[in-house]
């Protein structure tokens, strides 16, 4: 973390992927309240964060457990908003996000990171939509009833299967309701199926470029172009193992290389932020098993308060503040206008 008290730049930030609900829910189950205000707000303010998309993530894969976890996480976010109504707001549309910003509140949007809470029941999706969930990631890096995920390890093979019949039903139901699909974690076959059956913009909330770091968790050039062609955005991910396959080169500079590559492929209008910050939630020195080796995993930017590290790097590479503003918030704002149906396609 740098020692600035506020971002040096007045560039608003929307972060398209944060495991906020999971963290808040766990801490509330430990008896705490006001977790976002005490553990996140200063970092949000210092980074000029206006809005975050919070993942709903069920660790359990058993349907009843996962449903309960999903509902608990949604409930935890609402409880936090109820405790701090002048500071936080759950938002369901682009208009509500703008209103929250005008009121000086942090806008929180809700997103499934894996459809586990739905079990095999597409009808339940409408309940979560009614609760404010607006993005649907069909799977995490594992198989579920809807789809199969791309694992970090090459030696853990995806089945290679695409969307199941249930997964397709979820896509259609999500698009009917006005939710947007999120393809981060989805395997290649699932991505191809989605491209064929979906009609609306979709996003990759937290993924980088496979051309720079070859993990299947990152996007191929064709996938980046496809997301852009559909009018969606890709949120760049600050997690070291998505930035680089080598710890020493997992840096802000390498993260900016991903931005450069996406700009060349798709244009700057389709890049966003999905930092996926996690270090503050886990013990120091946390490692992950990747390809049979234990790899240290870390955030290449330390939370939102350190976002100037990225801004400085992008400015140094010749991006103007207005262009950085597109990446940091405006492109995602455009995509948010496609929420809620009504036939808008979110294209610029
Ligand atoms: Zn993720």
pLDDT tens digits, one per residue of 117-149: 999 999 999 999 999 999 999 999 999 999 999
Dist CA 344 CA 333 (whole Å): 13
Q: How many CB atoms lie within 10 A of CB 332?
A: 28
Contacts of 226 (CB under 8 A, 6+ apart): 191, 195
Task: State residue 5's pLDDT score.
Answer: 60
Ligand 1 center–CA 55 separation, angstroms: 8
Per residue in 243-255, pLDDT (tens digit) is: 999 999 999 999 9
Ligand 1 center–CA 145 separation, angstroms: 18
Contacts of 114 (CB under 8 A, 6+ apart): 57, 58, 137, 138, 139, 140, 142, 144, 149, 185
Ligand 1 center–CA 185 separation, angstroms: 6
Ligand 1 center–CA 338 separation, angstroms: 22
Ligand 1 center–CA 196 separation, angstroms: 24
Task: State residue 312's pLDDT score.
Answer: 97
Ligand 1 center–CA 312 separation, angstroms: 26
Ligand 1 center–CA 157 separation, angstroms: 18
Ligand 1 center–CA 92 separation, angstroms: 21
Ligand 1 center–CA 54 separation, angstroms: 11
Segment-wise mean pLDDT, segments of 10 residues, the chain, 348 residues = 64 98 97 98 97 93 87 98 98 97 98 96 97 97 93 72 97 97 97 97 98 96 98 98 95 98 98 96 85 88 96 98 98 95 40
Tokens 């193992």 — which residue?
241
Q: Are 291 and 154 in contact (CB under 8 A)?
A: yes
Ligand 1 center–CA 184 separation, angstroms: 7
Task: State residue 340's pLDDT score.
Answer: 80
Ligand 1 center–CA 207 separation, angstroms: 8
Q: Are 202 and 113 in contact (CB under 8 A)?
A: no
Contacts of 127 (CB under 8 A, 6+ apart): none
Assign 5 to helix, strand or coil: coil
Ligand 1 center–CA 345 separation, angstroms: 25
Task: State residue 262's pLDDT score.
Answer: 98
pTM of the model: 0.94
Report in angstroms the alpha-carbon separations of 133 from 18, 213, 226, 232. 14, 31, 24, 18
- Average pLDDT over the chain, rounded to whole? 93
Tokens 């019949």 — which residue?
165
Ligand 1 center–CA 318 separation, angstroms: 30
Q: How far is CA 157 from the centre of its chain?
A: 23
Ligand 1 center–CA 277 separation, angstroms: 10
Ligand 1 center–CA 89 separation, angstroms: 23
Ligand 1 center–CA 275 separation, angstroms: 10
Ligand 1 center–CA 116 separation, angstroms: 14
Q: Are 100 and 109 in contact (CB under 8 A)?
A: no
Look at domain 13-336 and name its CATH class.
alpha beta
Buried/exposed code over 42-74 (b: 16+ C-beta within 10 A; e: otherwise): ebbbbbbbbbbbbbbbbeeeebeebbebbbbbb
């Amino acid at each position: 973390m740098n020692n600035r008290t506020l971002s040096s730049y007045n560039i608003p930030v929307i972060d398209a992927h944060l495991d906020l609900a999971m963290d808040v829910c766990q801490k509330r189950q430990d008896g705490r309240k006001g977790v976002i205000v005490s553990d996140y707000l200063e970092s949000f303010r210092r980074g000029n964060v206006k809005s975050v998309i919070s993942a709903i993530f069920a660790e359990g894969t058993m349907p009843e457990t996962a449903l309960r976890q999903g509902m608990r996480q949604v409930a935890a976010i609402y409880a936090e908003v109820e405790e701090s109504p002048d500071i936080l707001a759950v938002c369901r549309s682009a208009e509500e996000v703008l209103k929250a910003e005008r009121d000086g509140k942090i806008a929180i949007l809700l997103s499934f990171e894996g459809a586990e809470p739905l079990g095999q029941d597409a009808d339940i999706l409408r309940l979560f939509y009614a609760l404010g969930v607006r993005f649907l990631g069909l799977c995490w890096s594992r198989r579920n009833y809807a789809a199969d995920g791309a694992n970090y390890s090459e030696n853990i093979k995806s089945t290679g299967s695409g969307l199941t019949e249930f997964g397709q039903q979820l896509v259609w139901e999500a698009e009917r309701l006005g939710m947007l699909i999120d393809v981060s974690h989805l395997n290649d076959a699932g991505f191809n199926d989605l491209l064929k059956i979906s009609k609306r913009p979709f996003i990759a909330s937290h993924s980088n470029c496979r051309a720079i770091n070859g993990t299947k968790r990152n996007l191929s050039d064709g996938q980046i172009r496809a997301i852009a062609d559909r009018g969606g955005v890709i949120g760049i991910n600050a997690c070291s193992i998505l930035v680089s396959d080598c710890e020493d080169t997992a840096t802000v500079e390498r993260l900016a290389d991903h931005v450069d590559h996406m700009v060349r492929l798709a244009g700057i209008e389709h890049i966003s932020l999905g930092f996926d910050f996690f270090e503050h939630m886990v013990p120091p020195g946390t490692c992950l098993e990747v390809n049979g080796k234990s790899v240290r995993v870390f955030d290449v930017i330390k939370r939102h308060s350190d976002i100037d590290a990225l801004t400085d790097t992008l400015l140094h590479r010749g991006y103007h503040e207005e262009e950085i503003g597109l990446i940091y918030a405006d492109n995602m704002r455009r995509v948010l206008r496609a929420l809620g149906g009504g036939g808008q396609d979110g294209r610029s």
